[in-house]
């Protein structure tokens, strides 16, 4: 029994460290988000879990995206998600299913998201998130959270937006099931081929993360991306390939100590 207790405590300690590592280099915004340093909080085509639920989309048809990621080369830090998005007139709706972890620790998340226009140049959105976390040999924990966001077009070249993630969640760093987070971001279209992005994210119990990204459209079908962040210091890069009716996005983020994280997303619409 004593050895079982020690093993259990070791598993919990490893998992807590693993989750902290993942939060330091998030891979749950897909290949595009990771390549842009997670600065793309207002321009996502699909409502990823960590993105702004009001993120606009030009799509007028049903879409789906599958994402796979692995942080720092560790199979214990694997992430998978499936998003199905359905535009209904002016309302943009989506369902997200995610899983992260391994047999000893599993985090499963489901979300419902919807965004609507409030004026011609602005949208608001909301997300309901249900999350379950299980440890091998222990009872699981479940929690439900609500997130909200907004996006506004300032001019033909500038878009701004923000989000309050998991409103009402515990601000204490000890409760990490649904960490509360405030985000603000902007996008500048410097030219038809060049897009600049910036964001600041403040998560409960962590330092503010300053994010920057650049996306360059090379041919209309191929885009290259790069980004950076400050909490922790990191750089990222990747590319996107679009061949109707689908696209492939790949991103890699480099942590100076923990090594690379990678994410890949396959989209169809």
Residue pLDDT, tens place only, 196-208:
999 999 887 788 9
Confidence of residue 89 (pLDDT cuts 50, 70, 90): confident
More confident residue, 47 or 255: 255
Write the pLDDT tens digit of every residue in 51-64. Answer: 788 876 556 678 88
More confident residue, 87 or 190: 190
Q: Could you give the 3-state DSSP secondary structure of residue 172?
A: coil
Q: Please give the backbone phi and psi of residue 34, each rounded to the nearest 5 degrees, phi first.
A: -65, -45
Is CATH 3.40.47.10 correct for 2-268?
A: no
Percentage of the chain modeled with pLDDT above 90: 49
Find the DSSP H helices in the chain: 2-24, 30-35
Q: Which of 64-68, 86-90, 91-95 has the lowest mean pLDDT?
A: 86-90
- Distance from C-alpha of 83 to C-alpha of 94, rounded to nearest angstrom: 7
Q: Is 192 exposed, middle or buried (0-12, 13-18, 19+ CB in 10 A)?
A: exposed
Q: Match 């939060």 to its residue by tokens.
A: 23
Q: Please give the backbone phi and psi of residue 173, each rounded to the nearest 5 degrees, phi first.
A: -65, -20
Sign of the CA dihedral running 10, 14, 16, 17: positive
pLDDT given at position 44: 58
The domain ranges of the chain are 2-268
């Amino acid at each position: 029994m004593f050895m079982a207790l020690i093993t259990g405590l070791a598993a919990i300690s490893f998992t807590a460290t693993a989750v902290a590592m993942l939060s330091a280099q998030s891979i749950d915004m897909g290949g595009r988000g990771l390549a842009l340093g997670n600065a793309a909080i207002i321009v996502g085509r699909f409502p990823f879990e960590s993105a702004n639920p009001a993120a606009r989309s030009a799509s007028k048809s049903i879409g789906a995206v599958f994402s796979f990621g692995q942080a720092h080369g560790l199979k214990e830090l694997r992430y998978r998600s499936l998003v199905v998005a359905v535009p209904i007139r002016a309302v943009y709706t989506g369902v997200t299913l995610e899983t992260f972890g391994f047999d000893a620790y599993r985090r499963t998340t489901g979300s419902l998201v919807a965004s609507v226009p409030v004026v011609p140049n602005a949208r608001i959105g909301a997300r309901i998130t249900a999350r379950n976390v299980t440890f091998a040999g222990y009872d699981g924990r479940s929690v439900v959270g609500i997130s909200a966001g907004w996006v506004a077009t300032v001019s033909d070249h500038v878009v701004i937006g923000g989000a309050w993630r998991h409103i009402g969640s515990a601000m204490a760093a000890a409760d990490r099931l649904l960490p509360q987070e405030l985000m603000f971001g902007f996008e500048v279209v410097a030219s038809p081929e060049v897009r600049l992005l910036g964001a600041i994210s403040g998560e409960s119990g962590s330092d503010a993360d300053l994010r920057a990204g650049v996306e360059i459209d090379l041919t209309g079908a191929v885009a290259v991306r790069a980004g950076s962040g400050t909490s922790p210091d990191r750089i990222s890069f990747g590319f996107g390939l679009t061949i109707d009716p689908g696209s492939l996005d790949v991103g890699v983020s480099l942590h100076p100590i923990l090594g690379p994280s990678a994410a890949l997303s396959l989209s169809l619409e």
